[in-house]
Amino acid sequence: MMAESSPGNGVGQTYTPGSVDEVVALVRRARQTGRPLFPVSTGMNWGYRSASPAQRGHDVADLRLMNRILNADSISERNPVAVIQPGVTQRQLYDFLEARAPGLTFNVTGSAAGTSIMGNSLDRGVGYIGPRREDLFGLEVVTGAGNILRTGFRRLGEDSPLAHCHPYGLGPMLDGLFFQGNFGIVTSACFRLAVKHARRIAVTLSLRDSAQLPRFLDALAGLKRQGVLSSVTHVGNRARSRSTLAPGLAQQLSERHGYAGATLAAEVQMALDLVAPTEWSAVGGVSGSAPHVEASVAEIRRALRGLARVNVITDRRLQLMSRVASKLAFLPPMRRLAAALTAIRPLHGLALGIPTDAAVSGLLWQAGQGEMPATGFDLSRCGLVYVCPALPLNGALISEVISAMVRVAAGFQHELYATINIETGTSAVAVTNILYDKVSAEETLRAQRCADALYCCLRDFKLEVYRAGEAMMAGLGERDPAYWRQVRDLKASLDPDNIIAPGHYSLP
């Protein structure tokens, strides 16, 4: 394994093991030296922690070199499971499936194409098909004691016909200990794939009157419970929608029509007014047989009649509209429409299982950073903090909570970027963030105070976040100390020396 020098941000040595045996050796050495390890997959957990340990001075186990799809030769529509290591990224798996198993897709997230599938899943990220925690099973873990533990039926051996197909095993399920846990280092896992249906479309929904957001959310909840909208429906506010579309619009209008400066900014704004005119809009996916999709779209239109404008987006329709708009680009509205259609294409692709960097590029663009710098997002000036609540699927309460969070952010001179993800038939999660300039000490402090105030706002509603950022870890035990003491006691059996990520989703 290779040790790198400290990057100077309170992190000790960074190690890059390339195999399970090297991870075992690294953990056993950490026990001997007493220096804790903080494992990261690709280090792109932006807005929560990235690759920074919960406590200063800890060494980092960077697992990006462990990037193999271990059962590459056996993946097929009859065997839709990929056994992946932590360094496998969304782009890597997508490219592999397109080349080797084009009938399969997977649960992509709106994060960057280079993010780790396993890292996001273990932190309970949300994809476009559903919660990613449901996709991962059969874990191989190097515990804090330096032992190898395999959950489910992987403990029967990789040659068992049950190893990669049956997620539960026999006896108590230990998998959950390693989701948002610090009991060991997960070195591989089974990841569910999905068979592509005969017909796949994206449905975009624009709420006509923002005062009707509670009714809109309740209607979408009903469609989710009925199985009409089987995927996660993402409901974004104007700030989120426009930040995601703006970079693509600017690129198209600049490259194709030579706009720059204030003229370009004005053209982007007019294009946004054309395609994202409302305060709230949503996108979801519908897939299945052609009759099923047709019936689902009809039911969506019926349920949202008078509430929202419903648009069905397919590759064919996008291509046709783009050709027409491009031919009429001498007309300013059509020129803007042509640029918008090109900007929409990556977002349409997300609903169909194609990863993209569009959302991350949008945050950078909104912060005045343009494209992702060669040094990566973390070394840009763009500061990003997420405060993301879990929510009951109650339209009135969700609307009240998001409105309160918007007011809190405004009090600190921040705009709140918000997406409400209808995740299950009974619950939703909101992905909300603020942006700031990391170079400015004043902006950094104000952003930290804003994030603290947003967290307090959620607690006033007796709610909690579903993923915790760096600043939230220290206070985890304040609200329900008995629970976190029990977590600590469980950790002691697998990590007796508290070597793996002390303070990460645990008491210090």
Q: Which tens digit of pLDDT belongs to each residue from 455-472?
A: 999 999 999 999 988 778
- What is the per-residue pLDDT across 155-210, written as a single tens digit (0 to 9) for each? 999 999 999 999 999 999 999 999 999 999 999 999 999 999 888 888 989 999 99
Q: Which of 13-27, 37-51, 123-137, 494-508 has the lowest mean pLDDT?
A: 37-51
| Structural domain span for residue 184 | 1-196+474-508
Q: Are residues 133 and 148 in the same domain?
A: yes
Q: Are residues 401 and 507 in the same domain?
A: no
Share of the chain above pLDDT 90, in %: 62
Whether the Cβ atoms of residue 283 and residue 204 lie closer than 8 Å to each other: yes
Question: What are the residues whose beta carbons fall under 8 Å from the beta carbon of 377, sequence distance 6 or more?
Answer: 44, 46, 112, 360, 364, 384
pLDDT for 233 equals 93
Neighbours of 488 (CB within 10 A): 14
Question: What are the residues whose beta carbons fall under 8 Å from the beta carbon of 336, sequence distance 6 or more?
Answer: 249, 253, 267, 270, 271, 274
Q: Are residues 207 and 166 in the same domain?
A: no
Q: Are residues 2 and 73 in the same domain?
A: yes
The answer to whether position 342 is within a domain reads yes
Q: Are residues 463 and 497 in the same domain?
A: no
Structural element, H or E, at residue 456: helix 441-460
DSSP 416: P
Whether the Cβ atoms of residue 147 and residue 395 lie closer than 8 Å to each other: no
CA atoms of 398 and 213, how far apart (whole Å)? 9
Q: Are residues 498 and 453 in the same domain?
A: no
Whether residue 411 has pLDDT greater than 60: yes
Residue 326's pLDDT band, with cuts at 50, 70 and 90, is confident
Alpha helices in 196-331 (DSSP H): 213-225, 238-257, 261-275, 290-303, 315-327
pLDDT for 459 equals 93
Statement: the pTM of the whole predicted model exceeds 0.75: yes
The answer to whether position 374 is within a domain reads no
The answer to whether position 376 is within a domain reads no
Whether residue 18 has pLDDT greater than 70: yes
Q: Point out the domain boundary residue: 314, 343, 366.
A: 366
pLDDT for 201 equals 86
The answer to whether position 440 is within a domain reads yes
**Structure token pair of residue 499:** 């070597």
Q: Are residues 192 and 206 in the same domain?
A: no
Q: Point out the domain boundary residue: 304, 339, 366.
A: 366
SS3 388: strand
Task: With CA atoms as reference, report the closest residue to 488 among 248, 181, 117, 282.
Answer: 181
Whether residue 369 has pLDDT greater than 70: no
Whether residue 373 has pLDDT greater than 60: no
Q: Are residues 226 and 344 in the same domain?
A: yes
Q: Are residues 182 and 205 in the same domain?
A: no
SS3 375: coil
CA atoms of 49 and 489, how far apart (whole Å)? 25
Q: Are residues 111 and 240 in the same domain?
A: no
Q: At what angle do helices 238-257 and 358-366 cross, to 10 degrees?
A: 90
SS3 299: helix
The answer to whether position 98 is within a domain reads yes
How many domains does the chain divide into? 3
Q: Are residues 107 and 57 in the same domain?
A: yes
Q: Backbone phi, then psi, for 154, in 5-degree steps? A: -65, -20
**Structure token pair of residue 440:** 């400015």
- CATH number for the domain harbouring residue 141: 3.30.465.10
The answer to whether position 400 is within a domain reads yes
Q: Are residues 1 and 64 in the same domain?
A: yes
Question: What are the residues whose beta carbons fall under 8 Å from the beta carbon of 498, sequence distance 6 or more?
Answer: 36, 144, 491, 492
Whether residue 375 has pLDDT greater than 60: no
- CATH number for the domain harbouring residue 243: 3.40.462.10
Neighbours of 55 (CB within 10 A): 16
Greater confidence, 383 or 280?
280
The answer to whether position 464 is within a domain reads yes
